[in-house]
Amino acid sequence: MKQRKVTLGEVAQVAGVSRATVSLVVRKSPLVADHTRQKVEQVLVDLDYVHDIGAARLRNNSSRTIGVIVPNLVNSFFTEFLSGVEQMMSEDDRVVLLANSDDDLTRQSQILQRFRGHGVDGVILCPAEGTDPQLPLRMRQWGLPLVQSLREVGDNATDYAGADYIKGVQLAVGHLVEHGHRQIAFLSVSARTSARVERLEGFSRAIAGTKAQNAGIVEAELSWEGAAQSAAKVLALQGTPSAVLCFNDVLAAGLMLGLRRAGREPGRDIAVVGLDDLPLAELTFPPMTSVAMCPERIGAAAARLLARRLQSPDAPVERSVVAPSLMIRESSNLSVS
């Protein structure tokens, strides 16, 4: 039943040439004469030959395989990112080894070892929370090309593709201020992650450049339930906000549910803006204004960076930051005087 694998040698024998020649044909080398190439190619398809990339890698050190590590496969932000990576790699005839670190350092390093063992050509890593800043250095010592993405550790010595949350928050705040909002609150997560820091910092900075005021910061668990429960806290804020900017779309959606439970209609009584613009932003009621971070494009960018690095290992480090754009929908279409 299970038929033996067809090897270069067998093809060579049938075609009446040497193994080396067949190898050249398979790799589309220009060195081989036209009529030989045709003859060999014919045999190749006749025998249903499959190029064994693993064996090739053993000799030439290129597996056409890259590893991707994400901290999460449930959040669609990361899966869209992944989709971008996969698509770009696939165009380049490379293959993606996927792993989910679950934001766990132990798992992350196990995965890296596994990837090393599988001989990946390079890794796209979204570092787990708390990753040792030395990691990029260690990976360089291993000779394992690294592109960091979405998050970053170490001293900017690796390629990086990411989102500009500072700018994103600024867009959102600008939009709200334009509509006359002067008291804007921020619904944050409680976990002390770098993502949180970036967004909060962006918020203070953005607010500082406008006529509006920071109406207060409320912390919630990173879940819609958490956000819904925090609605009361938001409404009780000293600053009595007319608008709330949220850490991400899930919190924003949860907050809208909570606000409504408390008798306030989001989009009419109070503006709500999310960050990320996940597909769900269009499906809430009212449809949610959010800042599109385009994770898919970030993924594609990361893939491009890695491809470039593999081609020219000594190229200067490059950073690629995808510009966010504001998607205005109905959750923020009230104006206040």
Please report, as ranges, the residues that interact with DNA according to CB under 7 A. Answer: 4-5, 7-9, 17-21, 23-24, 26-27, 31-34, 36, 49-52, 55-56, 58-60
Residue type, 276: D
Tell whether residue 19 is a contact of its own copies (CB under 8 A): no
Of the candidate spans 12-20, 38-46, 89-97, 160-168, the one that interacts with its own copies by CB under 8 A turns out to be 89-97
In angstroms, what CA-CA distances link 180 with 257, 300, 325, 333, 334? 24, 37, 20, 11, 9
Retrieve residue 337's tokens.
């005087």
Contacted entry of DNA, its own copies, none for residue 24, CB cut-off 5 to 8 Å set by kind: DNA
Q: Does 99 bind its own copies (CB under 8 A)?
A: yes
Q: Quick check: 80 binds its own copies (CB under 8 A)?
A: yes
45 counts as binding its own copies under rule CB under 8 A: no
112-141 residues near its own copies, rule: CB under 8 A: 113-119, 140-141
Which two structure tokens, joined as six digits, stand for 204?
């203070």
> Using CB distances below 5 to 8 A depending on partner kind, what does residue 140 bind out of DNA, its own copies, none?
its own copies
Per DSSP, helices labelled H in the chain are: 8-15, 19-26, 34-46, 53-60, 76-91, 105-117, 135-142, 165-178, 194-208, 224-229, 231-235, 249-261, 295-311
Q: Please report whether residue 63 would count as binding its own copies according to CB under 8 A.
A: yes
Q: Is residue 159 involved in binding its own copies (CB under 8 A)?
A: no
* 317 secondary structure, DSSP code: P
Question: For the chain, percent helix, then strand, then coil, each to nearest 5?
Answer: 45, 20, 35
8 Å CB contact between 128 and 108: yes
Please choose which of DNA, its own copies, none residue 36 contacts, taking the beta carbon within 5 to 8 angstroms, the exact cut-off set by kind. Answer: DNA
| DSSP SS3 for 98 | strand
For its own copies, which residue of 53, 166, 237, 310 counts as binding (CB under 8 A)?
A: 53
User: Which residue stretch of 126-134, 160-168, 283-291, 316-324 sits at the interface with its own copies (rule: CB under 8 A)?
Assistant: 283-291
Contact between 93 and its own copies by CB under 8 A: the answer reads: yes
- Give me the helices (H) in 16-60, please: 19-26, 34-46, 53-60
Nearer Cβ to its own copies, position 43 or 85?
85
The number of residues making up the chain comes to 337
Residue 112 to residues 98, 125, 159, 170, 283, Cα–Cα distance (Å): 11, 10, 18, 36, 38
Name the site residues for its own copies (rule: CB under 8 A).
1-3, 50-55, 57-58, 63, 65, 73-74, 76, 79-80, 82-83, 86-87, 90, 93, 95-100, 107, 111, 113-119, 140-143, 224, 250, 253-254, 256-257, 260, 279-280, 282-285, 287
